[in-house]
Amino acid sequence: MITRLSQLFVRTLRDDPADAEVASHRWLVRAGYIRRVAPGVYSWLPLGLKVLQKVEAVVREEMDAMGAQEVRFPALLPRDPYEATQRWTEYGDNLFRLKDRKGTDMLLGPTHEEMFTLMVKDMYSSYKDLPLSLYQIQTKYRDEARPRAGILRGREFIMKDSYSFDVDDAGLQASYDAHREAYIRIFDRLGLDYVIVQATSGAMGGSASEEFLAVLPAGEDTFVRSPGGYAANVEAVVTPAPEPVDHSDEPEAVVLDTPDSPTIASLVDVFNARHPRPDRAWNAADTLKNVVLKVTDPDGSSWPLVIGLPGDREVDPKRLEAALAPAEAAPFEEKDFNEHPSLVKGYIGPRVLGEKSVSKVRYLVDPRVVTGTAWVTGADEVNRHVAHLVCGRDFTPDGTIDVAEVREGDPAPDGSGPLTLARGIEMGHIFQLGRKYAEALDLKVLDSNGKLVTVTMGSYGIGVSRAVAAVAEATCDDKGLAWPVDLAPFQVHLVVTGKGEELFGAAEELAGQLSEAGLDVLLDDRKASPGVKFADAELLGMPITVVVGRGLAEGVVEVRNRATGERRDLPVAEVVGAVRELAGR
């Protein structure tokens, strides 16, 4: 196929879009692949749509190969199924809600578990119908509070979601494994450097959760891995709890004056100056920091939560979000402290938190705060702290919450060595839903004994439009996009430099030969300067550029490899063979 650039619906830009934060966003807009309509909402132009369709084809081929069957649901959905699973409320502000002309509540689908479940319920009733895997590639809608990075995190995006239906847990495991292998083939074909990590299930619910992350600095997800093979999204890292400590030699708790010490740093300075230790200096890890939060449930009700963690750690917002989902947390404000006078800002300690009749505050601690550990912490009075406060002796928390930051060098939960941190873009997520949605929507079948059993489900998603951005992010350089051959809109960008009709005639003939050889060709037939044409060729990012110019007088043209920068002058008769070899055709 030959497409002439003079007729292609595209307009390249010389300046970066004002809201571009990452390279893929910048180049996809500047090269005319996508165009912004509203925050987090983009139109796909012909070049971008070609790449998107090629990604979809890879996903579709591998899903079909594993035996899944494609369906397609509407994006406009009724409220009732989501009410039955409580997600009408749990999704909170991320859900696009609307009413039709009759006042009936509707939504734009953020995900389709309910629809898949009800469809299978409507059509199947026997174990003989299972196992079953269904999928769709469809537009989803989530009202992101901060859409960013172009199509990496938008409010409208294209996703492949699939669901497996099985009679028992053994069947679910088999379906999960089959999807996992299909995902490996998909991401291998997309050419991404990716890692499979343990993950949480979020608003979907379920267990046995893994994410496929493209390893890229622009990613929003932080993940960890160890030399022994442990890998997890930072939200899913489980902090190993130490063994209880023998505190028989620990002195009694004592309240000490600590003027002007509302922060951990100032507290450590005061203790070292006024209450020095005989064996070593005090440090932040000796202190117990108590972070006060206001937690709001999906129904709008709120309650205070205090999290106790070692003073050398901070609360990780993403780990906190995962731990409390679907509830949301925000820092206490002055009016909140006024409503809870027992909480002395900057000097909160576990003792008052144990007096539930006074504070009515839930107190959860980091897993490292185990029985017998001794701490310096707030004494619930301004300018006063308590030393030698022992967990299990002087205070008892309500439970634990694992939300402290994970740091480089922390031990892996499985003992496989120290953790290293990296960034990635979430490309796929697979997890075992179990019977959550089947129970809520009464999806049952008769088993081999004639007994009604609840079906168990798995859920498997791939960000299709996000994959376009991830590949662009992974392959671009400081000149523009650089697509791999199998995903590029065209394999060959044929550039004519010069004004002679013989040059254009030779280019037309060569383009025809390349097309007959099974290659998609973009022919730059514009009456533009060579500088403009070469800049656009690098910006648009086709993997192979063929230049028909002054060398034609000697019977040669230039062939460029966009990814490596390699250039070769070849006789015209050898060009098609060389290009086919470069393209792997």
pLDDT digits (tens, 9 = 90+) for 477-536: 999 999 999 999 999 999 999 877 888 899 999 999 999 999 999 999 998 899 999 999
442 belongs to a structural domain? yes
Q: How far apart are CA 382 and CA 559, in angstroms?
A: 75
Q: In terms of pLDDT, which residue wins out, 388 or 339?
A: 388
Cβ within 8 Å of residue 554, ≥6 positions away: none
The first and second tokens of residue 323, run together, are 């731990």
Res 433 pLDDT > 60: yes
Tell me if residue 301 falls in helix, strand or coil.
Answer: coil
484 belongs to a structural domain? no
Terminal alpha carbon distance of the chain = 15
Whether residue 263 sits in one domain with residue 182: no
248 belongs to a structural domain? no
Q: Going along 269-419, which residue ranges are E strands?
A: 288-296, 302-310, 328-331, 362-365, 374-381, 384-390, 399-400
Q: Residue 37: is it exposed, middle or buried by C-beta count within 10 angstroms (0-12/13-18/19+)? A: exposed
DSSP code of residue 137:
E
Whether residue 524 sits in one domain with residue 560: yes
For the chain, the helix, strand and coil percentages under 3-state DSSP, each to the nearest 5: 30, 30, 40
Q: Which residue has the tokens 């490996």?
A: 184
Whether residue 80 sits in one domain with residue 154: yes
- Nearest CA to 114 out of 201, 208, 205, 211 is that of 205
Whether residue 264 sits in one domain with residue 129: no
Q: What are phi and psi of 574, to 5 degrees?
A: -100, -5
Whether residue 551 sits in one domain with residue 502: yes
Whether residue 325 sits in one domain with residue 455: no
222 belongs to a structural domain? no
Most confident option among 164-168, 262-266, 277-281, 336-340 = 164-168
467 belongs to a structural domain? yes
Q: How far apart are CA 564 and CA 179, in angstroms?
A: 34
Domain tally, the chain: 3
User: In this structure, are residues 558 and 568 in contact, taking their beta carbons and an 8 Å threshold?
Assistant: yes
Q: What angle do CA 574, 577, 583 make, to 5 degrees?
A: 135
Whether residue 112 sits in one domain with residue 26: yes
Percent of the chain with pLDDT over 70: 98
Whether residue 458 sits in one domain with residue 327: no
Q: Count CA atoms within 13 Å of residue 423 on its CB side.
A: 7
- The last residue of one of the domains, among 400, 419, 436, is 400
Whether residue 446 sits in one domain with residue 371: no
Is the overall model pTM greater than 0.85, yes or no?
A: yes
Q: What is the mean pLDDT of residues 292-316?
A: 92
Q: What is the mean pLDDT of residues 383-401?
A: 93
Whether residue 396 sits in one domain with residue 307: yes
Residue-wise pLDDT for 116-157, tens only, equals: 999 999 999 999 999 999 999 999 999 988 888 899 989 999
Q: How confident is the model at residue 325 (pLDDT cuts 50, 70, 90)?
A: confident
Q: How far apart are CA 498 and CA 505, in angstroms?
A: 12
- The last residue of one of the domains, among 414, 445, 473, is 473
Res 301 pLDDT > 50: yes
Res 357 pLDDT > 50: no
Q: Going along 53-99, which residue ranges are E strands?
A: 69-70, 76-78, 96-99
Tell me if residue 459 falls in helix, strand or coil.
Answer: strand
Residues forming a β-bridge with 362? 305
- The last residue of one of the domains, among 443, 473, 503, is 473
Q: How far apart are CA 407 and CA 177, in angstroms?
A: 31
The enclosing domain of 131 has a CATH number of: 3.30.930.10
Whether residue 465 sits in one domain with residue 514: no
**Of the ranges 53-57, 146-150, 271-275, 541-545, which one carries the lowest mean pLDDT score?**
146-150
Q: What angle do CA 351, 353, 357 make, to 5 degrees?
A: 110
Q: What is the mean pLDDT of residues 204-225?
A: 86
170 belongs to a structural domain? yes
The enclosing domain of 521 has a CATH number of: 3.40.50.800
2 belongs to a structural domain? no
Q: How far is CA 124 from CA 128, 164, 234, 440, 528, in A?
A: 9, 13, 39, 17, 62
Q: How confident is the model at residue 471 (pLDDT cuts 50, 70, 90)?
A: very high
Q: Does 276 sit behind a cis peptide bond, omega within 30 degrees of 0 on the bond before it? A: no
Q: Which domain holds residue 165?
A: 18-195+202-207+427-473
The enclosing domain of 335 has a CATH number of: 3.90.960.10
Whether residue 390 sits in one domain with residue 295: yes
- Number of DSSP helices (H) and strands (E) in the chain, helices first: 16, 30
Q: How confident is the model at residue 340 (pLDDT cuts 50, 70, 90)?
A: confident
263 belongs to a structural domain? yes
Q: What is the mean pLDDT of residues 176-190?
A: 97
